Structure 1
Amino acid sequence: MAEPAVKDLVLYIVKQLADYPEKIDLRQSDENGVVQLHLIVAEEDKGKIIGKQGKVIKAIRSLA
């Protein structure tokens, strides 16, 4: 299980970037000791969250 602080941090950052924060869903899966966070956002927000050449999402991944 991911630390609640990590999930909260990712959710906070993404909500600040999104035009439609109410449409954000952050899910977690645990398989073989590996925790993954799955982020679902509005179609209109995908570009902002990914960023040019994936820089924004890579930065978020490095924090998590």
Structure 2
Amino acid sequence: MKALVEHLARSIVDHPDSVHVDEALEDKTQVLRLSVHPEDMGKVIGKQGRTAKAIRAVVYAATGKENQRVRLDIVE
């Protein structure tokens, strides 16, 4: 899952080397924290959050398991 988020984020930002995804497990939920270069924050979030929603939709669809919980946080 981490590699998927990194690939998606790197394909839309101007500074792909600054993309980092941290993975953690919190209360049976896999938490992915995406951090990008400050100049790319707007590109990852998108207009009215549409890009962030699209990335989350792909991540949720990729889990393929109804009982597995995944959360994607975009952090500075």
CA deviation after TM superposition for structure 1 residue 16, in Å: 0.6
CA deviation after TM superposition for structure 1 residue 9, in Å: 1.4
Q: TM-score, normalised by structure 2?
A: 0.74
**Which stretches in structure 2 are left out of the alignment for 5+ residues?**
60-76
Residues paired across the two proteins, number:
59
Cα-to-partner distance string for 1:19-53 (whole Å, 9 max, x where unaligned): 00101110011012111100010000000000000
Partner of 1:62: 57
**Which stretches in structure 1 are left out of the alignment for 5+ residues?**
1-5
Cα RMSD between the aligned structures? 0.8
1:1-64 to structure 2, matched below 5 A, reads 6-64=1-59
Higher relative CO (Cα under 8 Å, sequence separation at least 6) belongs to 2
Q: Which has the larger helix fraction? A: 1
Q: Which amino acid aligns with 1:20?
A: H
The runs of at least 4 consecutive aligned structure 1 residues that moved more than 2 Å come to none
